[in-house]
Structure 1
Amino acid sequence: MTSGDGTSSTRVGVFGLLGSGNLGNDGSLEAVLGYLRAEHPTAFVDALCGGPEVVAARYRIPATRLHWYRGEYRTASRAGAVAGKGLGKLVDAFRTAAWVRRHDVVIVPGMGVLEATLPLRPWGFPYSLFLLCASGRLFGTRVALVGVGAAEIGNRSTRTLIRWSARLAAYRSYRDAQSRDAMRAMGVDTARDEVYPDLAFALPAPGASAPSGLVCVGVMDFHGGDDDRARAGEIHRRYLDGTTRFVRTLVEDGRPVRLLTGDACDAPVAAAILDAVDSPLVTTADAASLADLMKETAAADTVVATRYHNLICALKAGTPTLALSYAAKSDALMDRMGLAAYCHPAREVDADRLLEQFRSLEKHSAELRQTLTERNHVAARQLEDQFTALTTALFPAADHPHTSRKAP
């Protein structure tokens, strides 16, 4: 892309598992694209991402597939698949370097790219992130990890790749203080790193709806974290059984329930609850974006949700929310928004205790809505500061070493 006078514009890349079915990841991208289009309208923006067709169609930017080998996230059991994955790692090193070299700036928009709170293999996305950050350092491209999530990681290989990725990045900010603390504990100098609300809080919020009695229940294909692989099946059964019992109790009380998901992999969980409860009062939302999820949560009286960005949508919409918390980031988010008392462990869903917390949430609904209004105003101001800091760090007026290269 060129600017209005025909001169070359700044080239900005966005990077991550975008367009792959995770609505939270795509919401973070949408927030960053909104910032770029408002503050840097002449910048040429493209993506290296997991779902290039979706990103290109939905956000109208050129997009390239993150992995050369299309079976990257499928289990490799045959020799051919194993060889394909191995060759793909080598090819991706050159593909990533070539892509990074064409840019002045690369932004990794939000997402939990520095954590392993869900099952994660070191040679999957952590390796891809390391290639990105190392290539940025090699070619002088400023790589920014913007509003990302982090957590201390036990697996040595994953920990090493994540630590070096963070060290090699030119800019880092985090979506909560514990993420910054985790990176410091893993040996990264965070003295100049700042903490801001999650990028999704920069998205527009829907208007409030009249009381309807509706309860939104956000579900997740939850099997524990990266350190829970040995008991993943047991964790999932407990989560599903407890959530199903909770939904059944709501229906027995005559409450309509709307099941929400946040990733394509969550659909079977919603279907299992729908089949088990077998009531016309239970329906499933078909949300394609965080904006859709916010509309769903805004229409509800209360929300009970697991996925981190389901929680954000409900809180941003100003709806009293109870978190089925699967990681410390959920607890931190609820505390930031003034609802720390309304967290329940996803690993040990106790339907009776959950119902007790839910009734307390509804009892204090009016005051919690006021609290959320106030906290959302604060989050909006803080994200304005985040984008101002990002411009200062990434777009210095006289420092565009790659601008002599024309966009394709």
Structure 2
Amino acid sequence: MTPVRVGVFGLLGSGNLGNDGSLEAVLGYLRADHPDAVVDALCGGPEVVTARYGIRATRLHWYRGEYRTASRAGAVAAKGLGKLVDVLRTGAWVRRHDVVIVPGMGVLEATLPLRPWGFPYSLFLLCATGRLFGTRVALVGVGAGAIEDRPTRALVRWSARLAAYRSYRDAQSRDAMRAMGVDTARDEVHPDLAFALPAPEATAPPGPPGPVCVGVMDFHGGNDDRARAEEIHRRYVDGTTRFVRALVEDGRPVRLLTGDACDATVVASILDAVDSPLVTAAETASLADLMAETAAAASVVATRYHNLVCALKAGTPTLALSYAAKSDALMARMGLAAYCHPAREVDADRLLEQFRELEKRSAELRRTLTERNAATARQLTEQFTTLTKTLFPATAGTHHHTSRKAP
């Protein structure tokens, strides 16, 4: 039999640990349940993906400056030409595959600044050429949200309609797609794919006065906040800095975490402002590294969605600096709905009150997270079983989902 040809697609290998963690979870599933599949990627950072995961990878865009602002006439022309060339490049890549998987990520949302002719256009090309050439495109465990910008909304809606399979990481994502005119009657909701990654053992005594992990983000608001992006950023950094300083004044060691390369500027700002040996910055290259950091902490306060996933998966009491409804939904799923604080309006005094309440309930919340993580593992087993039946019907009776180690 000819091996099944599987492609993975997205902004992978580009510095976002959450995106790469979703890829890692899908590769673990494929290697466990479909070991004969031939896998390659069309992605943002092909060199990183090949080096880290051992699969062939092709650059997502013909024009290398795709995500840089084009101000000169030559750059504008090159970017425009790239959009046309990418139609042919994407189609040629898609038709070589039987299945293409978009692993997790917020590919159907605009909770961060986003231009329609960036990734939404690329996703539309993928789904349209998949339908044209008969390649099954699966949006697996993705995030979605209501989108106000009309061109972006249209591209996202048509991408979802043209995909052969869709599942979401929370119910509100499915609701958002339904509200945008997509028939979601057969779409399923499962936990975020990163919950399929192995969790480390806790390495610190539970509860205070142990170290606190604070996950930060280069946060400027969402797609609809461009007019006040700098104000939002300043309030976020100032409020988070005040919170870290208060922890230090209590004698607590603080470990700063990131989830994307761009977050380093916020880390540097906090280190400079607080200027204490109790505050250090973690060097993390994967979600496994993030989980290890959070497993060693008494408590976690974090902004990025996958910082939260890692802390919750590690079973550490966690407070979310929430910048989107997806964070609130995740915290509710894991039994910590009361511990959300708005990232756009960080109030250091109120945040400290919530944090102290979180730590008072540390033992209880750790038990809650143990129970919720067990349920999440069962639900992800169902996700992968459904994926096999839908995308790999010829092997559905010969492979079964098993417990996997990270690739």
Which of 137, 140, 155 is residue 134 of structure 2 equivalent to? 140
Tell me which amino acid in the other structure corresponds to 1:190: T
Pairs within 5 Å for 1:10-49: 10-49=4-43
The count of aligned residue pairs is: 393
1:78 aligns with 2:81: no
Deviations along 1:69-115, one digit per CA (max 9) or x if unpaired, are 00000000000000010000000000000000000000000000000
TM score, norm. by length of structure 2: 0.96
- Kindly indicate whether residue 343 of structure 2 is the aligned counterpart of residue 349 of structure 1: no
Q: Please list, as runs of the form range in 1=range in 2, the aligned pairs for 1:6-405 lying within 5 A after superposition.
A: 7-211=1-205, 213-397=210-394
Rounded to whole Å, the distance in 2 between the matches of 1:154 and 1:273 is: 33
CA distance in structure 2 between the aligned counterparts of 1:397 and 1:179, rounded to whole angstroms: 30
- Mapped contact 2:388–2:395 kept (Cα < 8 A): no
Tell me, in whole angstroms, the C-alpha distance in 2 between the residues paired with 1:84 and 1:375. 49
Query: How many angstroms apart in 1 are the aligned matches of 2:395 and 2:144?
Result: 33
Distance 2:28 2:10 in 1: 17
> In structure 2, what residue type is equivalent to 1:48?
L
Q: Give secondary structure in 2 for the equivalent of 1:76.
A: coil
Distance 1:213 1:189, change over 3 A: same
- CA deviation after TM superposition for structure 1 residue 210, in Å: 2.7
State the secondary structure of the residue aligned to 1:397.
Answer: helix
**Distance in 2 separating the partners of 1:239 and 1:302:** 20
Which 4+ runs in 1 deviate beyond 4 A?
Answer: none
Unaligned runs of 5+ in 1: 1-6, 400-408
Give percent identity, aligned residues only.
Answer: 86
Note the C-alpha offset of 1:182: 0.0
Q: In the TM superposition, what is the alpha-carbon distance from 1:208 to its structure 2 partner?
A: 1.2
Q: CA deviation at 1:398?
A: 8.2
CA contact (8 A) 2:213 2:256 kept: yes
Deviation track 1:305-346 (CA, whole Å, cap 9, x = no partner) reads 000000000000000000000000000000000000000000
- TM-score, reference length from structure 1: 0.96
1:8 CA drift (Å): 2.3
User: Deviation at 1:50?
Assistant: 0.1
